[in-house]
Structure 1
Amino acid sequence: MIKGITLVHSVASADARSLAMDRLGSLFETLGFESGKGWQDDQRRGAAFLAPLGNIELVTGRTPAVPPLLIEVTQLDHVHTAVQQWMLTEHRTEEVETLLSAPELTHWNSRLFTAQLTSELRVGFWQSENPLHGRPLAIEGDLDAHGMRFAIITTRWNTVITDRLLQGSLDALYRSGAAKQDVEIVRVPGAWEIPNAARTLAESKKFDAIVTLGCLLRGETAHYEAIYTEVARGIGQSQQETGVPHAFGVLTCETLEQALDRAGLKAGNKGFEAAIAAIEMVSIQRKLRAPDQAAS
């Protein structure tokens, strides 16, 4: 099994290697490389700098017009500034202009600049312009609600809040492609009744996901905690036992002002967020089940 890749490169001629090594070591440490184990004998000295990931690239035909040593970075402009400041301490300004290029776009959807750090060492620093580059492969849901069926449970209690949550949920579903006939709205008296309605709807197998909306405001007694605990437990249990995604949009707030903020005034609309989560979970379930369905 391959454990790592090491590129060995001479950084200076014999008479200048010690100074160049020390200066380059300082630069690479500034840029964030982790120092590895060095070595030294009577004639030579080595220093290792460790990067999180390494690649080896093989090409046929003409070698690409890039340095043989390419370092992928984030915040390319900050790296360019750091290299430039280092080079200004080693060279005159007019020399730096010829030794250090400006970051430029490449034909491979990246930005790149090159630096001639020593007479023997030319390095390219680059950053991908693709926002998904380097992200680990994962199954993720799509925000496309076409063909999905949803049930939204909302409450008559605290309707000044729950009606706002409901409008947020409907907005999210319709914007994402859900058809109005595929969205069922169910009103229950209060938050306590949400789990029962959610379980009934989930067991009907008519819906791909359930969106639960409600609002609990803290009073002067322990009633708030008791209700919230059972509502959360009941919704979670219904989801686990039926396998139908349940999006949680039940607000638990200290004051009416906090609830209004979370229902669209200042802190976003939690009904909208719950519906978006429901769409994504349905999409994820379909992707996860696709191999099984193909096999059958």
Structure 2
Amino acid sequence: MSRYAIVCATFYRDLADRLIASATAAFEEAGAEVDVFEVPGAYELPMAAAYAVDSERYDGVACLGAVIRGETTHYDYVCGEAARGIMDVQLSTGIPCAFGVLTVENMEQALARAGGDKRDQGRHAAEAVLALAALSQQLGTPE
């Protein structure tokens, strides 16, 4: 049976819970086992993804969280570095790591994308990981 990890930034706890629930549901609907790991914020997601991949227990990692724009440039640094770091982990290891981080202007936008309708970032991240893992198997790429 396939096993996947979810690493989630919990800075916005309500959003994190929604993202985790929808990603977990997508993995379980695909017949996979899933483990959830929490980190304080989105900036920590790349390291958490690297830890999960390095454990050699997972076929992929869905990285979830939310960053809501504030009054300073902090938003830009956190979003950019989280995205780059997650991409670096998957490209350097060959293990799919999805960027399921909401990068939004306000809480209303975040809630609209945190589960329950067609803009469900948690589910979409899990589905991306599943699709890449299947493609890797189909093409016989080395891990």
Q: Secondary structure at the match of 1:219?
A: coil
Opposite residue 277 of structure 1, the aligned amino acid is: A
Shift of the alpha carbon at 1:264?
2.2
Shift of the alpha carbon at 1:265?
4.8
State the aligned residue count.
142
| Corresponding residue to 1:284 among 109, 131, 135 | 135
Shift of the alpha carbon at 1:227?
0.7
Q: How does 1:54-203 map to 2 (within 5 A)?
A: 147-178=1-32, 182-203=33-54
| Correspondence 1:212 to 2:63 | yes
| Cα separation, 2, equivalents of 1:267 and 1:222 | 30
Shift of the alpha carbon at 1:273?
0.9
| Cα separation, 1, equivalents of 2:132 and 2:118 | 23
Residue equivalent to 1:254: 105
Flag as ranges the 4+ runs of structure 1 deviating above 6 A: none
Is the CA contact 1:261–1:267 (under 8 Å) kept in the aligned structure 2? no
Shift of the alpha carbon at 1:266?
4.9
Could you say which structure has the greater relative contact order, defined with CA pairs below 8 angstroms and 6 or more residues apart?
2
Opposite residue 236 of structure 1, the aligned amino acid is: M
| Cα separation, 1, equivalents of 2:139 and 2:77 | 36
Shift of the alpha carbon at 1:248?
1.4
Give the unaligned 5+ runs of structure 2: none
Is the CA contact 2:28–2:34 (under 8 Å) kept in the aligned structure 1? no
| Correspondence 1:242 to 2:93 | yes
Residue deviations 1:12-42 (CA, integer Å, cap 9, x gap): xxxxxxxxxxxxxxxxxxxxxxxxxxxxxxx
TM-score (norm 1): 0.46
Is the CA contact 2:9–2:39 (under 8 Å) kept in the aligned structure 1? yes
Shift of the alpha carbon at 1:211?
0.5
Opposite residue 5 of structure 2, the aligned amino acid is: A
Identical aligned residues as a percent: 39
Of structures 1 and 2, the larger Rg is shown by 1
TM-score (norm 2): 0.94
